[in-house]
Structure 1
């Protein structure tokens, strides 16, 4: 309670100071000019009424009267008449009570005559005028702060726009470099291929296969948001071919896919990432423990499954960044319609299961359908 009162004093100290000076000034002037000094109760009663009129007019009446430009023509006179009537009647009631309890002694009976009404109206209008000035002052300050805030937001937007343009310029430069670097790389691979073609068929085969895979990975973002699954299957076969070349066809891995899945469309690099995960973490050299890659469909889903013996150097605490990235991409595109799971079993096999709904893009979640802008 003490803290609340302290905060209230801090927040209203200017008001208290100004009103204190004003009340002291009026008390002294009236006492000197008219030779009448009231007691504390008289001052408290009358200034409570004045303060109520002042803050009601500035904080409630005027904001209500000016809610609409047209409504102000009838609301303002109405609320003004209402306030003055309440103030005049309130002043008469306060004086009557103060006289009755002998707090006012220089007047014997309170008279509700035209002189009293004129005095009360003059004093009421006097404080309403001051209150109106206070209202316009705080309204001006609010609008000034609002304008300053809007200007600050505008300047921040300009700064952010300039920063975005700078980042865009950097991205464009990086894109140009990225276009130059692959071009140089593919030309170099082509040169090496022709040099080793007559010396080693296996080496030249590996070079041309690697070039195809790298070109597919680099160009995947240019193919749109979806790729035909047959293209990714071809790259998986290239990847398997490269690894088998390196290991003299001794790797225990089998790739099964049904013909009808080739024409389906999926987001790129999903199947390829699953296969790369097998080579990265799997044990493909243990006899009798063949790794398996399966791609097939049923009426509602396309299924991508992998299973492999876990490598001896596998650390379960290392995050599966590639798999988590696949899950996020599938979730963004297919929402809750996708199915995704992975984990190690008691047989020391690591399995991944992906099921993608076979739906037209118009039936996908709104985020996917709107952003893709593709109709099958």
Structure 2
């Protein structure tokens, strides 16, 4: 309880200091000008009324009166008149109590006459004016503080985004420099992940998935001739995820597969190259024209099908080297029994691979 009281006093110490200085100023000036020095209790009683009216007006009354803009024209004058009347009556009541305690000496009866009313009317308006100024100043400072906090938060986000982008660029550059030393690359990516993940889980996830893809691509040279399709499906999902976060999930790509294709063994990087071709040359920003990637088994054939809208701005100088490379590798691995067809039709690019399932269960 005591600790809370001390914290409250500390919070509003400026208010206490200002009021103390103001009371001292008024008391000294009145004493010097009119040679009037009253009992301190008299001053305390009347300043309690003044301070109460001041803060009630600033913290509650004005907020209520100004809340409804349509009714403010009558609410504000009405509530100010009520407060002034209340201020006069409270001061009159305080005087009666002080007279009853023999702290104020009066000749005759202490009446609520015009002189008393006018004197207190002036001071009531005087302090309500200061209270109104305090209200608007407090609101201004509060709004400025909120604006500064929002600007600071926005700046921190921009700085964090720049840091994240820089760290991702570092990861990409690290990969290029680590071609002769993959161990260095993955240590670097692991370091960047732990740094980035503290600030952005999305960026951290991106680094992890990029690391998985790089490891898969590098290890594909050291793998056996084939890999399980489940492994390459995972890397395709990583690739789609990375492209999606770059474009804030605005890409329209649908990737589907049946569970029975996962155990099949295929030469590596076929599926990844097809999907990369979609992102490289396709238009996948159209909500009404979704790119499709589908893997299924039909009539004892593994079918890999892709369909996407063509981005004519990207395909002007294409050589189809990636697709030609897939074709050569498939023919080398599976001979004439493999079928790989692709074509542009109706503004769309379609690719279709068919391989007998029996060939995908045998070592090559």
Q: TM-score range by the shorter chain?
A: 0.5 to 0.7
Structure 1 residue 234 corresponds to structure 2 residue 264: yes
Question: How many corresponding residue pairs?
Answer: 220
Relative distance call for 1:173 and 1:104 in structure 2 (3 A) is same
Contact 2:57 2:132 in 1 (8 A): yes
CA drift at 1:29: 1.9
Matches within 5 A, 1:117-128: 117-128=117-128
Q: Provide the C-alpha distance between the structure 1 equivalents of 2:256 and 2:76, rounded to a whole number of angstroms.
A: 65
- Distance 1:108-1:14 versus aligned 2 partners, 3 A rule: farther
Q: Which residue pairs with 2:44 in the alignment?
A: 44
Find the aligned partners of 2:118 and 2:171 in 1 and give their Cα distance. Answer: 77
Shift, 1:107, TM fit: 4.6
Counterparts of 1:78 and 1:95, CA distance in 2: 26
Residue 6 (structure 1) shift = 2.2
Per the TM alignment, residue 234 of structure 1 is displaced from its structure 2 partner at its CA by: 2.4
Sort the Cα spacing of 1:139 and 1:181 in 2 relative to 1 into closer, same or farther, 3 A: closer
Partner of 1:133: 133
Distance 2:217 2:6 in 1: 72
Give the structure 1 partner of residue 235 of structure 2. Answer: 221
2:85 pairs with 1:55: no
**SS of match in other structure, 2:41:** helix
Distance 1:32 1:95 in 2: 23
Cα distance in 1 for partners of 2:65, 2:171 equals 55
Question: After superposition, where does 1:85-100 map in structure 2 within 5 Å?
Answer: 85-100=85-100
Could you tell me how far apart the structure 2 residues matched to 1:4 and 1:73 are? 40
> What TM-score, normalized to structure 1?
0.51
CA deviations over 1:123-173 (Å, ceiling 9, x no partner): 111111111222222212111111110110110121122234335545666
In 2, Cα distance between equivalents of 1:79 and 1:62? 9
Map residues 322-333 of structure 1 onto 2, 5 A cutoff: none
SS of equivalent to 1:211: coil
Task: Report the equivalent of 1:78.
Answer: 78
Quick check: 1:66–1:72 contact (8 Å CA) kept in 2?
yes
- SS, match of residue 66 in structure 1: helix
Q: What is the alpha-carbon distance in structure 1 between the residues aligned to residue 28 and residue 218 of structure 2?
A: 95
Distance (whole Å) between structure 2 residues aligned to residue 5 and residue 88 of structure 1:
31
When the two structures are superposed, what TM-score results if normalisation uses the length of structure 2? 0.52
Contact conserved, 1:54 with 1:127, CA < 8 A, in 2?
A: yes
Kept in 2, the 8 Å contact 1:99–1:108? The answer is: no
RMSD: 3.4
Q: Is the CA contact (8 Å cut-off) linking 1:99 and 1:109 kept in structure 2?
A: no
Counterpart Cα distance in 1 of 2:109 and 2:2: 43
- Pairing of 1:251-266 with structure 2 (within 5 A): none
1:107 and 1:38 map into 2 onto residues whose CA distance is 16
Cα separation, partners in 2 of 1:181 and 1:112, compared to 1, 3 Å: closer
Change (3 A) 1:51 1:107: farther
State whether residues 228 and 265 of structure 2, in contact with CA within 8 Å, keep that contact through their aligned partners in structure 1. no
Q: Does the C-alpha gap of structure 1 residues 220 and 59 become closer, same or farther in structure 2, counting only changes over 3 Å?
A: closer
Aligned to 2:10: 10
State the Cα deviation string for residues 106-132 of structure 1 (Å, max 9, x = none).
453222122211111101111111112
In structure 2, the CA distance between the partners of 1:172 and 1:68, relative to structure 1 (3 Å rule), is farther
Unaligned runs of 5+ in 1: 190-206, 237-258, 264-376
In structure 2, C-alpha distance between the alignment counterparts of 1:34 and 1:184, rounded to whole Å: 96
Structure of larger gyration radius:
1
The verdict on how the C-alpha distance between 1:111 and 1:185 changes in structure 2, with shifts beyond 3 A counting, is: closer
1:321-342 deviation digits (Å, cap 9, x = unpaired): xxxxxxxxxxxxxxxxxxxxxx
